[in-house]
Amino acid sequence: MKTFIAALAAFLMSTASIAGVALSGKYTGTLDDSGVYTQDLVTTLVGASAAGSVTVTLDKDFAVDDMFVESTIAGIDFKLGEVDDVTSIGATTTVGPVTVGVNQVSGGSVTFDVDGTFAGVTVGVDDITSSARETSASYEVAGLTIGAEHAKSGDDHQVQLDVSTVLGQSVDAAGVATGGITITLDHNQNADRDEFEDGSWGGSVSTAIGALGTVKAEGHLTDADVKTYELSVTQGIFTAAWEKVGSADGSLSLKAVVEF
């Protein structure tokens, strides 16, 4: 079965310009300091026509993760199908600076989302009619990019904050930015920066150093005083990293990431 799918994918790639089929994906392989190599692959196939498109996402075992269809009619974008194990029907449209969306989960409730930019502040609200709505906002001022997210879980208000800036960056006549040191700081985010974690602090400093690649140092401190340190160097598709969490021994890893 896998051989058949691989052959089919190769065929689709060779006929993409004719049939309107695009193939993209991301491969991630990680070697830890015990010599164990793990890998993952996410592949996305998009079949497009003048009337709309169908998107199918496959995991490394070529099982379907997501499958949905999209089309635009009279300025309204429709999306029907399964994303992240949730099947729904959604529609979005833009009115002035505001994008409004409505989503009906199969067998579930209807949610309303609103996004827009007002006076330079980009704001997004998911499930706006719910008391547990999620709100995000970002703003750029004086070289700083500031972000905030708010969500309610029960009676608790969860607020995440982050700020970043680039120091010493140069911009050429074409507007292309190079060099500089990127500095970030975050509050109430976990060490992976993808979930709320009450009372935590984190930050990073990164810069490109010639042929060595991009060097990055990160730190994270939880409310329980658990410290995480990470130092990494990225060159091309490879990232070598050292990480230490709490009192555990530090660990080394080598990761290869290829996006196509």
User: Bridge partners of 230?
Assistant: 218, 243
Residue 7 above 70 pLDDT? Answer: no
Phi/psi of residue 230, each to 5°?
-145, 135
* Over residues 40-46, mean pLDDT: 97
Residue 212 burial (CB < 10 Å; 0-12/13-18/19+)? exposed
Q: What type of residue is 201?
A: W
Predicted TM-score (pTM) of this structure: 0.81
Nearest to 211 by CA among 191, 236, 190: 236
- Among 108, 104, 110, smallest CA distance to 89 is for 104
- Evaluate whether 204 touches 212 at the Cβ level (below 8 Å): no
Q: Are 24 and 12 in contact (CB under 8 A)?
A: no
Residue 4's pLDDT is 46
Cα 73 from Cα 95, distance rounded (Å)? 15
Per-residue confidence (pLDDT) for residue 20, from 0 to 100 = 83
pLDDT of residue 19: 56
What confidence score (pLDDT) does residue 153 get? 84
pLDDT in tens, 233-254: 999 999 999 999 999 999 999 9
Joined together, the tokens standing for residue 76 give 């309204």
Please give the pLDDT value at position 9: 47
3-state secondary structure of 14: helix
Distance CA 33, CA 244 (A): 13
Per-residue pLDDT for 56 more than 60?
yes
DSSP sequence for 70-122: EEEETTEEEEEEEETTEEEEEEEEEETTEEEEEEEETTS-EEEEEEEEETTEE
Largest CA distance in the chain: 59
Distance, CA of 195 to CA of 188 (rounded, Å): 8
